[in-house]
Structure 1
């Protein structure tokens, strides 16, 4: 099985909720990896959240507008009210990225999802794949970027990814 097949099939899954965010973060390793965020938030609700007070927090409406430029067959779309992948990424420190995307950060661009109170009541999952556990993997930003982009090419483009 090659590295991409391993990534596609071996996700660690962590259901996420606002109340337990700090405790849940401890379950995510401080290691390099690839991750994805799933939710049952309808796309139409995400569109309502444009500019944020902190410029480091992603403008969700802008991200969706950008991803909408792709043909439908390339995108990941919600089926009914089911959870779907809305974001994929990579990081040298999965725990840090988990916190940034759900809690927020002043130092790097992130989703800061739970800073938007309306989003807290929906279902969320953070799935991650620690890359160091695979034979032959040597961490580099280039390799993580390649693996994440190759994975996106296989599964489709998440609505909150604009590049």
Structure 2
């Protein structure tokens, strides 16, 4: 059974692409370059839905720029789950993951970016700033929704079924 690809692949004709990373609309309250989405389902929802299924795969066939956004999101969720412990409360998790979302991070083309073989670098300075701003907005919204999802039942401790995936590394990679 192959890994699950993004459902936003068909929208690639209408989507802005930086390097080969899709700048998809996000339902978010955070400021950034992503134009707001009124859709019920966006790339953040898809990352959270496909994270657990795709985290078992070591290989992933990339079919378009939306898949690269999915890969980045899955790797960021893995990083976030690695920061949580079974005793972390929702308030502590909110602080930890918000800090992780906005702290300095590498983008495709940077020397420290671990997936440079899969991502094309931005062409110019404007695209670098656009991609950095989008990834910051993407990470903030993803961290917020991840907290909502794993603390849905009990705000004093995270869902153990989500924390079970802290040892899994999608494609044997990490951010």
Query: TM-score, normalized by length of structure 2?
Result: 0.32
Q: With a CA cutoff of 8 Å and minimum separation of 6, indicate the structure with the bigger relative contact order.
A: 1
Query: TM-score, normalized by length of structure 1?
Result: 0.33
Bigger proportion of residues as helix: 2
